[in-house]
A and B are shown apart, each in its own frame.
Chain A
Amino acid sequence: MDGGTAGRRDFLRRCATTAAVGAAGGGLAWWAYGRQRRPRPAGAVSLDDLAARFARPDLPGAPALVVARDTAIADARGGPIDPAVIERMLARALEPLGTMARFVPRGGSVLVKPNAAFAADPLSGAIADPRTIAAVVKSAFAAGAAEVLVADNPIAAPALVFDRSGIAAAVRAAGGRIVVPDERGFAPVRVTGATVLPDWPAFIAVLARVDAVIGIAPVKDHNLCGASLTMKNWYGLLGGNRSQFHQHIHEVICDLWRLVRPAAPLLVLDGTRVLMRNGPTGGSAADVVVRNTLAVGTDPVAIDAFGVTLLGRDPRAVKYLVDAEAAGFGTLEFARRMREV
């Protein structure tokens, strides 16, 4: 074939190829165009949906709060607690509440949430004592738990916190498991009836796995809200930019209880040492006073009000406790529903 144009057969073949490529491109665009979707954040979950799992038997006439004291558990400097003594105290205190077996379903999974906010020495009073945490872990296993997870989302670097404080070693020795948080474990949680807390990232990965929740808080002074006790301890279940909480701290603390209330947690207040000032971080032995006290209960207002008295202060001066009582979370008149053992 001479001349500049292609033959008929050639012409048709090349036109068909071009058309096919064009159609493929257009088809891909058509398909992808139809796929346009606005990225949607994950839907928020609520612990209300899980409430059935956390049901526990009623115990009519049980006290709201049991306080155990012992003169021997810590020396004057707040020095190490004898683990055996703290274990006996815990068992004694849990007796009137129906023992640990009431809170831990046999063969279930338990989340223990200690206050482990800082990479501090336990003697500083800024975190829950590792021996108290270990005693709770052992007690949960003795009550038939299949698995005990110990988790917190601390303010300081998590791995450093658990290792420096001795919590990781004590928990592992007791058979428990430390769960170090990272962003994939968090999903937004919706708090029913929240006053200020919007849908907020919470450590859902552990909350959705367990059948019981136990909080362990030290007794601490706090620079803004007055006292950091069991209600404020739930702060460590949340992620995100928590620094914003201070703007409405009393409301947020009440919302934290609204968040966790469906899990009906057992509350443990570790008053062996009390951080009297410079809280919530402490940092000096002079800030700590030895009280040799352990309190357990189910009423967050009563147990925290008792904790405020360990700080030598008036519970009614702590705004979030007054708010919590008004919201029906519990009673500030803890003395009437308290038992000492």
Chain B
Amino acid sequence: MRITLVRRLWQAAFLALFLYLAFMTAGLAARLGALSASASFFLEVDPLVAFGTLCATGQLYHLGAFGLAWALVVFASALVFGRAFCSWVCPFGTTHHAIGSLARPRAAKDRCRRNDYRPAQALKYVVLAGFLGAACLGSVQIGLLDPLCLYHRSLATSLFPLIESAVRAALPGGWIYAGEAPLFQGGWAIGAAALALFLANTALPRFFCRVLCPLGALLGLLSRFALFRIARDESACTRCGMCRAHCEGACDPDGKLRQSECLVCLNCIEDCPHGALSFRLLPRESGARPWPEVRDRRLVLGACVGAVAAPLVRLSGGTERSFSPAAIRPPGAVEELEFLKRCVKCGQCMRVCPTNVLQPALLEAGIEGVWTPVLNMRYGACEKNCALCGQVCPTGAIERLTVAQRNGEAPYPGGDAPVKVKLGTSFYDRGRCLPWAMDIPCVVCEEVCPVSPKAIYSVETMVTTRDGTSLAIKLPRVDPSLCIGCGACEHACPVKDLPAIRVTAAGETRSRGWGTRERGLLLKG
């Protein structure tokens, strides 16, 4: 069998697996109550996720078997085979590969020209340096461009909903229903960014992989040490340039191979009419440029920009002091500064959330928290008997709690005492509340409050109505020591646009009760 056919089968298999797992993260969750598999595995083998969070937290997160240590598999593959991950496994790369192939020009000469090396390909190393600089100062932003995080986020919050809504619209109006389609705030922008990257392949094949991908840059740097690479037999080579026709990496296989750019697609070997190219163990050193063509001072500059940007964006506050009332984190989330060191914005928690309450943040958590998960109670309410978001988080930004641990009914693994997770606290807006402001019976908030005893209680009070008659009406109040901030009340409030009871982050406790006094509310409880 031809080696490129084998490669295509591998690519198709991994792309299908990734799409399947990402798709089923929602369905499996609802069906099983607990997940048996998720796309987390792809993020766990991602060395950039592992290295980025390692820079920020000083540890490799794992719960149970291996966790982020799986990244060593891809790390090792780069040391042996170079950037083979990019052309054999990466689902985002495969998608770009396929689109680029469809947009191929007819003439061989034009094809070859599209695969000439461009100096812009050095940009990804600067991007990587910038992200790692920021990560070292406690702000993990790799998820913005890491291909697996980016792809999963785009699928979860826009591409899948787009396809699902089209399928629902196309299905006949029978009576078999799939439930409501999820909606995501700002999902259009996430989807548009992904589609723009897909379209870029028509101008430059694998634009993302060649120019932007920070994971590709990391693997490119590692491939300097790779044992295998493309080798060219100079005596057989006529410099005809046919090897460039389908070169995915634009890595000059007919000259001095740019080892850091080579995506190991192996097309050149098949395209060479003279059999001059082969993928070999430890070929002669002089045949390749092992290091990317990027000046060291550029990398240092990139790292410095990242390292300055991280503290710079915090100068406006919002992360600790002056935190946003809308920065309500999912149950099991670790304390905010730690959260920003871990969250890679992959969006798996949003995909798995059965109530649609988890949303990609806009500016609720500051500019560095863009696309991290926050709760928006107008989309849903956090289900008290659910802890699915923590089951899929690959980096421990949301800890893997059980429902009992979340509700403070069981101690944590490792022996921390039980703590009931509070996401925030509900507050009444009495000017908008029907019983408080308008003498209209309601207390739906009390009805849906899921804790026992209810955090919302009502006191029957005699009021004098407009026409002077007396009316006994239930006026609701919040007991902040019982409120868990789930938002059931806010979601059910009949005042739909700006509910008369709203949860804000004040009074939250993070996982294990860790958190800052800054966001606390009560001295006791």
Q: Which residues of A contact B (CB under 8 A)?
A: 118-121, 155-160, 163-164, 179-185, 205-206, 209, 222-224, 241, 243-244, 246-249, 278, 280-284, 286-287
Contacts and interface: CB of A to CB of B under 8 A. Distances in A.
B481 interface: no
A159 B175 contact: no
A159 B355 CA distance: 9
A159 B452 CA distance: 24
Given A224-B474, A282-B452, A246 B178 contact: no
Given A156-B381, A179-B176, 9 more contacts: A119-B383, A179-B177, A180-B178, A181-B179, A182-B179, A184-B173, A184-B177, A222-B447, A280-B447
Given A243-B492, A283-B450, A185 B177 contact: yes
Nearest to B181: A182
A155 B31 CA distance: 18
Contact of B385 (A120, A181, A248): A120
Contacts of A222: 447
B454 interface: yes
Contacts, number: 107
Contacts of A183: 180
19 contacts: A120-B385, A156-B381, A157-B356, A164-B386, A179-B175, A179-B176, A179-B177, A180-B178, A206-B175, A223-B454, A224-B446, A241-B496, A244-B494, A278-B454, A281-B447, A281-B449, A283-B384, A283-B450, A284-B453
Contact of A157 (B32, B383, B440, B494): B383
A247 B471 CA distance: 14
Contact of A164 (B385, B447, B448): B385
A325 B179 CA distance: 37
| B-side interface mostly | loop
Nearest to B451: A283
Contacts of B451: 283
Interface of B: 30-33, 168, 173, 175-180, 354-356, 380-381, 383-386, 434, 440-444, 446-454, 458, 474, 492-494, 496
A244 B434 CA distance: 10
Contact of B30 (A163, A181, A278, A282): A163
Contacts of A206: 175
Nearest to A205: B175
Nearest to A206: B175
Contacts of A164: 33, 385-386
Contacts of A284: 452-453
A121 B450 CA distance: 12
Contacts of A179: 175-177
B494 A241 contact: yes
B386 A119 contact: yes
Nearest to A117: B448
Given A119-B386, A243-B494, A157 B354 contact: yes
Contacts of A119: 383, 385-386
Contacts of A243: 442, 444, 492-494
